[in-house]
A and B are shown apart, each in its own frame.
Chain A
Amino acid sequence: MNELFDVAIIGAGVVGCAVARRLTLNGAKVVVLEKASDVLDGASKGNSAILHTGFDAPPGSLEQACVAAGYKEYLSVAADLELPILKSGAFVLAWDQEQLSQLPELIAKAHKNGVGDVALVDREDILKREPGLSNTLVGGFEVPGEYLIDPWASAHAYLLQAMANGAILRRDTEVLEGKFSNGHWTLETSSGPIAADLVINCAGLYGDIVDERCVGETCFTVTPRKGQFVVFDKAASDLVASIILPVPTKKTKGVVICRTIFGNLLVGPTAEDQESRTDASTTREALQALQARGVEMVPGLDTCEVTAAYAGLRPATEFPDYQIRSLTDQNYVCVGGIRSTGLSGALGIAQHVVALLGDQKFTGVPIADPALPDIDRLSDYHRRDWQDAGNGGIVCHCELVTRREIENVMNGPMPPSSLQGLKRRTRVCMGRCQGFYCTAELATLTEGHFKVPMGVEHGEH
Chain B
Amino acid sequence: MVSTDQNQRKDVDVAIVGGGPSGLALAAELKRCGVGRVVVLEREISAGGVPRHCGHYPFGVREYGRLLKGPEYAARNVDEAVKYGVEIRTGTTVTQLHAGGRLSLTTAKGLETLDAKRVVLCMGVRESTRAQRFIGGDRAQGVISTGALQSLVYLKGMRPFRRPVIFGSELVSFSAIETCRHLGMRPAAMVEELDRIVTHKIIQPYLAVRGVPLFAGVQNPKIIGSKTVEALEFIDAAGVTQHIETDGIIVSGRFRPEAALLRRSPVEVDLGSGGPAIDQFGQCSDSAYYSAGNILRPAETSGWCWREGVVTAKRIADDLSSNGKPETGVARLVVTSPEIQFALPQRLTRSDRSGGMDKMQIGLHEPVNGILTATVDDRPVWTSPLNARPVRRIQRPLHDILAANDGRDVKLSIGPRR
Interface residues of A (CB under 8 A from B): 230-231, 233-235, 238, 278-288, 303, 305-310, 386-394, 397-398, 400, 403, 418-420, 432-437, 439-441, 443-444, 452, 454-458
Q: Is the CB of A394 within 8 A of B43?
A: yes
Q: Is the CB of A436 within 8 A of B183?
A: no
Closest B residue by C-beta to A447: B158
Within 190-237 of B, Cβ neighbours of A (below 8 Å) are at 220-222, 226-228
Q: Which of A392, A418, A434, A457 contacts B130 (CB 8 A)?
A: A434
Docked CA distance A288–B136 (Å)? 10
Q: Is the CB of B106 within 8 A of A455?
A: no
Q: Which of B106, B137, B148, B228 has the most A CB atoms < 10 Å from its CB?
A: B148
Q: Which of A279, A306, A419, A440 contacts B156 (CB 8 A)?
A: A440
Contacts of A455 in B (CB 8 A): 152, 156, 158-160
Contacts of B226 in A (CB 8 A): 278
> Closest CB-CB distance, B86 to chain A, in whole Å?
21
Would you give the 0/1 interface string for B234-273, flagging 1 where the beta carbon is closer than 8 Å to chain A?
0000000000000000000000101010011000000100
Docked CA distance A457–B258 (Å)? 29
User: What would 7 more interface pairs be, CB under 8 Å, given A403-B108, A439-B148, A455-B159?
Assistant: A238-B264, A280-B138, A284-B221, A393-B45, A433-B129, A436-B127, A437-B44
For residue B102, CB closer than 8 A to chain A, the reply is no
Q: Which of A286, A387, A418, A434 contacts B131 (CB 8 A)?
A: A434
Contacts of A443 in B (CB 8 A): 152, 156, 158, 160
Docked CA distance A390–B106 (Å)? 11
Q: Is the CB of B148 within 8 A of A436?
A: yes
Contacts of A280 in B (CB 8 A): 138-139
How many A-B Cβ pairs are below 8 Å? 154
Docked CA distance A239–B380 (Å)? 38
Q: Is the CB of B136 within 8 A of A436?
A: no
Contacts of A308 in B (CB 8 A): 129, 131
Interface size bracket, B side? 35 or more
Docked CA distance A309–B129 (Å)? 10
Q: Is the CB of A434 within 8 A of B109?
A: no
Contacts of A444 in B (CB 8 A): 156, 158
Q: Is the CB of B93 within 8 A of A440?
A: no
Contacts of A397 in B (CB 8 A): 43, 93
Q: Is the CB of B130 within 8 A of A235?
A: no
A-B contact pairs, 20 of them (CB 8 A): A234-B260, A280-B139, A281-B139, A286-B136, A287-B134, A288-B134, A307-B129, A389-B110, A398-B260, A400-B95, A420-B139, A434-B129, A434-B130, A434-B145, A436-B126, A443-B156, A443-B158, A444-B156, A455-B159, A456-B160
> Closest CB-CB distance, A265 to chain B, in whole Å?
13
> Closest CB-CB distance, B93 to chain A, in whole Å?
5
Docked CA distance A279–B108 (Å)? 41
For residue B7, CB closer than 8 A to chain A, the reply is no
